[in-house]
Structure 1
Amino acid sequence: MSDSVQESKPRHEHHPHLDAKTRVVSNVDAKLANPLRGIPNEILMNEVEIFAQERGLPHLLPELKKGALVAQNADAYKQYDMFTDEDKKFLEDEVTHKWRQTGTLYYMVVMSSLAAAVQGMDEAVINGAQLFYPSQFGMDTTTSRGSWLLGVVNSAPYLCCATLSCWLTHPLNQWLGRKKTIFVTCLISFLTCIWSALTNTWWHLFIARFFLGFGIGPKSATVPVYAAECAPAPIRGALVMMWQMWTAFGIGLGDVIDLAFYFIPDSGGIRGLNWRLMLASAGIPGLIVCLQVLYAPESPRWLIGKGRYEEAFNELCRLRFSRVQAARDLYYIHILLEAENEMKKGRNRVVEMFTIPRNRNAALASWIVMFGQQFCGLNVIAYYSSNIFSQSGFSDTSALAATVGFGVLNWLFALPAVFTIDTFGRRNLLLFTFPCMAICLLITGFSFWDTFREGRIVGVAIGIYLFAITYSPGEGPVPFTYSAEVFPLYIRDIGMSFATATTWFWNFVLSITWPSLVLAFKPQGAFGWYAAWCMILWFLILLFVRETKGRTLEELDQVFSVPARVHAAYGLRQIPYGIKKFILLQNPTPEQLYQPESESEENIGPRDGAGKEARRSAAAEP
């Protein structure tokens, strides 16, 4: 038990240079990373027996004892004779064959991916519909009033997300649970998409799309958490990242549907049947998810939080191959929830997010990358690319076909992000791709000055396609992954709520202002505006966003305890270093602002936050 004794020491003994407030945060994180570390075997077994009696689980006591040992130390099954050969095989396979999982887990993965695709389709189908409904509703988009009305209608769901629906995520999850929240939000998406297709005035369409926001906001926070809480640790991070990838797939699918329904003629006295079918079609995948979620497991963590331990164990048995794995996760989740509740007592976590420098630095970095996901200009193209291509000289059908190309590239180049984000690092990816995105936006905007239609079309298409290629592996997956790992565990849910609201608020601002921005400054000025923001964001990332790749929780405390002004000065000093290395091809010595000391990862439980995989998997709980 010597390692356990070492782990049980206060973390400020390992890192005495941390300031007092950060040491408090560090010790809280140490407790939450694995509340079982350092507990002697005899005491642990006694606690398991008490737990089994209090929770009405005495029939599970043998499995719970083995599970508690593995929860405390992932290699415990190699040290105790109580583990059978079958137990050892399943526990070893978690590491050596991490993608060998139960059919129920993969059923949950398919459902979560389809829910993400619903999200993307909800956002994308308006792209093609706006080629038609403005004229039918008497909206002259060449005037200031008409352009603002177009922006208001298109941005309605994101106004709802920023002001109302994101803040309903926590009460919905507490009241209904993950599974029923997904059901309700997908049902809202289905009904509001059908409702949108039946409107005949701009204000009616605005109301319908505003209510669509109640299906978008809570779903965007709930589905990644649901996937994280059902998945085993080795693949949890990858499943959380799939939300962004399959959202991109949904955007591409929505673009394909827009093109497919373009040719539908009016029928039976129904005007605008094509754009109505576009909007209605986005609801169909939501209905499929509603039917599918009925057979999916509920989140074991939510059931345990409600005191429904027997149900939680049964769901874990569906999600895992062995009862020992289920018992391990059951006991560990219980201990972790008790530790979290104890840590939250007497603390104002919202205040501490701003008053403790370590937390404030993490929040600032998170908000920068979340803001950047919108003001890099991506959703301008995602929501308005059909208009952009049309203005450049494409016919309506060609504009929709070109939009499909953008959607496909956006999805395809999101696939490598699972590997690049941990190979090149979050900060490095952003610092490399933001200047590239700025150049692509300038190419797109400046192409509108080309007096030859063919040249203008080619320039706009190249600029937008290259933008998708550079965005998808960088600013696409980084913001949600980064935000899920930078906050200390005890304020993670609060931090992610603010981060999610940040991205939806600026999404609303971007989508409502684009039509008027184009009208006032022409496409050249509008794209130049977002190219300028890409460069501003490059500097903000350089100065205030810290690298988190491969850092443990202990190391992150050190990284974010560096004062903002010190890190900003360090960022400025990296400019001449980058010029020498990448332009002059010299070999300068890089400056090390911090050299974190990694603690041993022994005795760290299967669901803790240590290392890159576990931190990526620590998705925010709404």
Structure 2
Amino acid sequence: MSDFTNYNEKKEENKTIHTERKSSKKPVLDAQSKTVANLNARLANPLRGVPRDRLLGDVEIFAQERGLTHILPELKKGALLAQDPQSFTRDNNGFTEDEKRILDEEVSHRWKQTGTLYYMVVMSSMAAAVQGMDEAVINGAQILYPRQFGIGDPTSQRDSWLIGLVNSAPYLCCATISCWLTDPLNQRLGRKKTIFVTCLISFLTCIWSALTNTWWHLFIARFFLGFGIGPKSATVPVYAAECAPAPIRGALVMMWQMWTAFGIFLGDLIDLCFYFIPDRPNVTGLNWRLMLGSAGIPGLIVCFQVLFAPESPRWLISKGRYEDAYKQLCRLRFSSVQAARDLYYIHVLLEAESEMRKGRNSIVEMFTIPRNRHAALAAWIVMFGQQFCGVNVIAYYSSNVFVQSGFTQVAALASSLGWGALNWLFALPAVFTIDTFGRRNLLLFTFPCMAICLLITGFSFWSPDLKGRLAGVSIGIYLFAIFYSPGEGPVPFTYSAEAFPLYIRDLGMSFATATTWFWNFVLAITFPSLLLAFKPQGAFGWYAAWCCILWVLILLFVRETKGKTLEELDQVFAVPLKTHATYGLRQIPYGIKKFLLFQHPAETASEESSSSDEKAKDEVKEDVDKV
């Protein structure tokens, strides 16, 4: 019966779409958005439509110019693969049986990769864990160091601001300076050396923080820690994406958020372990000093580990080091044909990008061209939301919150550890759900749930019963972690990495990471004073209200990017804001009827969106064909 009902619903849906297509006018892209669409189409595969003879002739010229004639046969087969991934199945292209098996397994057994690639994955995961530990160890330390530095009066607004200033110092550096150094550092040093330098800075500044004796000295040390946090947060995901083969690239980029969450859990564990360390002669506050200092050890491990990892082939090619890039690709792939394919494809892609950047001001075009501006707005909303959903209030101050609710300091640290564990464990399903449910749908589902969890946490402080208050606060914070980790945790970085067109993607990611670190700073510096002024009830209610506001902003201005090609994304972001906002508003009654009242409403909003997408996709395709 349900199958028959679904069939009738689908039939009616197709009839409605067909009627709309006949009666509606074809949407017209503005000239600037058409230009961006054409650029993206060319960048999506610069080899599309190139005749075979011309392609092989270009490869011979390329090999002679770059001194790669000794691998010319591999380059020719690689170019055919880059143009058409299924070309190895045709007998006239000269692929051996072993090469055919490896190329087939590239898709059918996508996690079967070389040891060097997995070494790179481990190194990148460790670098992400360094990031999480740098952020988390202050959670336990900040219930100890303020009294030693004379800023521990819980009723003083001055002390609250100073604690917030010290805790937020790295993120002030990230937002104002270090994130904007990402591109020059990568251009000058490359991915490997940038990771080495930033992890070394993390190690040295963590040790420096452990040796401070005044609040302003600790502020300076933690400010310089920001030079290790900001560029690393943008470089490591890019490095992983540039080394990984296409079938698992998205999953490896997702690893950044998952292992950052693991680093937060590890930082909370270290806080609990070192809390019991007593002072030594002439050493006051040894426990919090060990907390801050220990966060640098994984950074030092990464410094040694990265020396043996491959350099990004894309960066080497951008510097004209083609032979070195080929050697690194041979380390990362099973066969020389795969390495030659990736080498030639990266080369033609960089050539196309270089040609398209001539005479263009990327900063201006990111905000003046509607397609780019809409992507920047959506990326800003999800990055802002990653902070103002209130997650780092818990990551940085959960120990304080648990103490205020009635926990002992040890119990508060143990409870924070539980939050860190949930934050990591529930990040694991995001690897699958983000491409199943979609980015926008995950956010729309989880933000109201996070708002309810924050209200439970805050309102529990009104309970006169100690056990009830402790239970309410713990349940609220733990449920918040469960809803945050598969939604607003992994979505922002993934969304920002794919929303911008290719020719401004690096600049767009710098803008996005600077956004999240700036609001991270604002959140970290203001929460102690917010907690003092409005009590926990008002403080958590404030961020619950922001979760509701962000739900509306996502509904109106954030477009879905799941499973769409570059050409389709151009059309998605070219739709005017008013049109998309109207579509979002029409989803509200539909969602209420379907998910709350369990009815089967006519899918008007979905039909109109699908119809517009299809017509617009046809228009973009026509423009691309002309190019």
1:47 shift after superposition:
0.5
Deviation at 1:461, TM superposition (A): 0.3
- Give 1:594's match in structure 2, choosing from 575, 586, 609: 609
Determine whether 1:72 maps to 2:83: yes
2:224 counterpart (189, 206, 211)? 211
Q: Which one is further off, 254-263 or 347-356?
A: 347-356
1:41, 1:490 → 2: CA distance?
27
Gaps of 5+ in 1: 1-14, 601-622
The Cα of 1:141 is off from its aligned counterpart by 3.7
Residue aligning to 2:506: 493
Match of 1:555 among 560, 564, 568: 568
Q: Which residue of 1 aligns with 2:215?
A: 202
Instruction: State the match for 2:494 in structure 1.
Output: 481
Cα deviations across residues 539-578 of structure 1 (Å, max 9, x unaligned)?
Answer: 0011111111111112112211111011111111111111
Q: Deviations over 1:248-273 (max 9, x none)?
A: 00000000000000000001321000
Q: Is residue 2:598 matched to residue 1:585?
A: yes
Partners in 2 of 1:52 and 1:598 — Cα distance? 42
Is the Cα–Cα contact under 8 Å of residues 27 and 616 in structure 2 kept in the other structure?
no
Q: Quick one: distance in 2 between partners of 1:420 and 1:220?
A: 23
Residue 151, structure 1, aligned to residue 164, structure 2: yes
| In 1: Cα distance, 2:614 partner to 2:238 partner | 30
d(CA) in 2 for partners of 1:598 and 1:387?
55
**Counterpart for residue 26 of structure 1:** 37
Amino acid paired to 1:354: F
Tell me, in whole angstroms, the C-alpha distance in 2 between the residues paired with 1:541 and 1:263: 45
**Structure-2 change in CA distance of 1:599 and 1:49 (3 Å):** farther
Partner of 2:72: 61
State the match for 2:111 in structure 1. Answer: 99
Q: Which residue of 1 aligns with 2:578?
A: 565
DSSP-derived class of the 2:467 partner? helix
Q: Structure 1 length normalisation: TM-score?
A: 0.93
1:185-264 matched pairs, under 5 angstroms: 185-264=198-277
Equivalent residue for 1:605? none
SS in 2 for 1:304: helix
The one-letter amino acid paired with 2:378 is A
Q: 1:141, 1:150 within 8 Å by CA — same for their partners in 2?
A: no
Among 282, 285, 299, which residue is 2:295 paired with?
A: 282
Amino acid corresponding to residue 125 of structure 2 in structure 1: S
* 1:275 Cα deviation from its structure 2 partner: 0.3
Q: Please give the alpha-carbon distance, in whole angstroms, between the structure 1 residues aligned to 2:116 and 2:592.
A: 52
CA distance in 2 between counterparts of 1:244 and 1:556 reads 23
Give 1:177's aligned residue. 190
Percent identity over the alignment is 78
Question: Residues 226 and 448 of structure 1: is their aligned pair in 2 closer, same or farther, counting only changes over 3 Å?
Answer: same
Tell me the secondary structure at the aligned position of residue 341 of structure 2: helix
One-letter code of the match for 2:540? F
* Aligned residue in 1 for 2:342: 329
Instruction: Tell me, in whole angstroms, the C-alpha distance in 2 between the residues paired with 1:126 and 1:269.
Output: 23
1:121-163 Cα offsets, whole Å, 9 max, x none, are 0000000001110000000242010000000000000000000
Q: Could you list the per-position Cα deviations for residues 349-402 of structure 1 after superposition, in whole angstroms to 9, with x for gaps in the alignment?
A: 111111111111111111101000000000000000000000100000000000
State the partner residue of 2:406.
393
Q: Where in structure 1 do 4 or more consecutive aligned residues deviate above 2 Å?
A: 15-19, 592-600
| Whole-angstrom CA distance in 2 between matches of 1:429 and 1:578 | 14
Please list, as runs of the form range in 1=range in 2, the aligned pairs for 1:332-371 lying within 5 A after superposition.
332-371=345-384
Q: 1:99 to 1:598 in 2, by over 3 A?
A: farther
TM-score of the pair, normalised by structure 2: 0.92
Which of 93, 101, 107 aligns to 1:89? It is 101
Q: CA RMSD in A?
A: 1.2
Q: Identify which range, 577-586 or 62-71, moves more after superposition.
A: 577-586
Partner of 1:45 in structure 2? 56
Letter in 2 for 1:111: M
Distance 1:60 1:360, change over 3 A: same
Matched letter for residue 222 of structure 2: R
1:196–1:205 Cα contact (<8 Å) kept:
yes
8 Å CA contact 2:136, 2:396 repeated in 1: yes
Letter in 2 for 1:556: L
Deviations 1:414-449 (A, max 9, x none): 000011111111111111110100000000000111
Distance 1:282 1:31 in 2: 45
Give the Cα separation in 2 of the matches to 1:185 and 1:470: 31
Q: 1:599: Cα distance to partner?
A: 12
Please report how far the alpha carbon of residue 598 of structure 1 lies from its aligned counterpart in structure 2 after TM superposition.
10
* CA contact 2:458–2:539 (8 Å) conserved in 1: yes
Distance 1:594 1:491 in 2: 27
2 CA distance for matches of 1:168 and 1:200? Answer: 30
- Mapped to 2, the partners of 1:112 and 1:230 lie a distance apart of 11
The residue identity in structure 1 corresponding to 2:609 is Y
Q: Structure 1 or 2: larger helix share?
A: 2
2:149 is the counterpart of 1:129: no
Amino acid at match of 2:111: W
Deviates further, 28-37 or 492-501: 492-501
Give, in whole Å, the separation in 2 of the partners of 1:232 and 1:537. Answer: 35
Unaligned runs of 5+ residues in structure 2 are 1-25, 618-627
- The answer to whether the aligner puts 1:526 opposite 2:539 as a matched pair is yes
**Matched residue SS, 2:452:** helix
Counterpart selection for 2:150 from 119, 124, 138: 138
Letter of the 1:539 partner, please give it: V
Distance 1:135 1:354 in 2: 47
The C-alpha deviation readout for 1:91-144, integer Å capped at 9, x for no partner, is 111001100000000000000000000000000000000111000000024201
What is the CA–CA distance in structure 2 between the aligned matches of 1:368 and 1:499, rounded to whole Å?
Answer: 9
Q: What are the residue-to-residue correspondences of 1:406-445 with 2, within 5 Å?
A: 406-445=419-458
Shift of 1:581: 1.1
**Alpha-carbon separation, structure 1, partners of 2:343 and 2:568:** 28
Amino acid at match of 2:238: V
Deviation, 1:453, is 1.3
Deviation at 1:86, TM superposition (A): 1.2
What's 1:108 paired with? 120
1:475 partner SS: coil
* 2:313 counterpart residue number: 300
Deviation string 1:479-538 (CA, Å, 9 cap, x unpaired) is: 011111111111111111111110000000000000000011101000000000000001
The CA deviation at 1:246 is 0.2
Instruction: Determine helix, strand or coil for the equivalent of 2:609.
Output: coil
Do the aligned residues in 1 keep the contact of 2:594 with 2:600 (CA within 8 Å)?
yes
Q: Aligned AA for 1:518?
A: L
In 1, the alpha carbon distance for the partners of 2:366 and 2:428 equals 33
Instruction: Provide the C-alpha distance between the structure 2 equivalents of 1:583 and 1:226, rounded to a whole number of angstroms.
Output: 43
User: What's 1:535 paired with?
Assistant: 548
Q: Which stretch shows the higher mean deviation, 583-592 or 30-39?
A: 583-592
- The aligned length equals 586
Could you list the per-position Cα deviations for residues 24-56 of structure 1 after superposition, in whole angstroms to 9, with x for gaps in the alignment? 111000110010110001000110000001001
- Whole-angstrom distance in 2 between the partners of 1:168 and 1:496: 12
The 3-state SS of whatever aligns with 1:125 is helix
Q: Work out the CA distance in 1 between the residues paired with 2:614 and 2:307.
A: 47
Q: Hey, what does 1:5 align to over in structure 2?
A: none
Distance in 2, matches of 1:268 and 1:192, equals 24
